[in-house]
Amino acid sequence: MNLRAADEADIPALLAFWKLAAEDTNRVDDDTAAVAALIRRDPEALVLAVDGDEIVGSLIAGFDGWRCHLYRFAVHPDRRRQGIGKLLLDAAEARFRSFGGRRADAMVLDDNTLAHHAWSASGYRAQPEWRRWVKGL
């Protein structure tokens, strides 16, 4: 298994992987154009864990010049608790440190308790005083 940046050829497999491994029932469906735009804008942001030709993990490590944001953290259900998530998070945090980032944040669904355990085990803490506000564009 290795970690690498996603490229546009990965998009169909990645979208299928997210349907299997990522939790989110209220998201606008991810699509090819949106993922391709991310890859073109920041080619190193979307990190994949790949075993042979199979995607077994993903994490978007986005940096906007000010904040470090983590999105689409997912590990294949059959490959969880094997250290893949830790490898992805370590790579993302190293990326952020290379930019001078000082704090990373992640959006995690309130009722995704499996994810809560993974984030907590990696040293992340929920901020109960914050709630996300959204507006579709």
- Mean pLDDT for back-to-back runs of 10 residues, the chain (137 residues): 97 95 72 95 97 97 93 94 95 96 90 89 90 76
Domain presence at residue 135: no
Range of the domain at 109: 2-121
| Euclidean distance between CA atoms 20 and 31, whole angstroms | 15
Helix (H) or strand (E) holding 74: strand 68-75
Residue 73 belongs to domain with CATH number:
3.40.630.30
How many folded domains does the chain comprise? 1
In a domain, 49, yes or no: yes
Question: Which pTM does this prediction carry?
Answer: 0.91
Closest CA to 130 of 113, 102, 105: 105
d(CA 115, CA 96): 21
Evaluate whether 82 touches 70 at the Cβ level (below 8 Å): no
Residue 21 inside a domain? The answer is yes
Residue type, 134: V
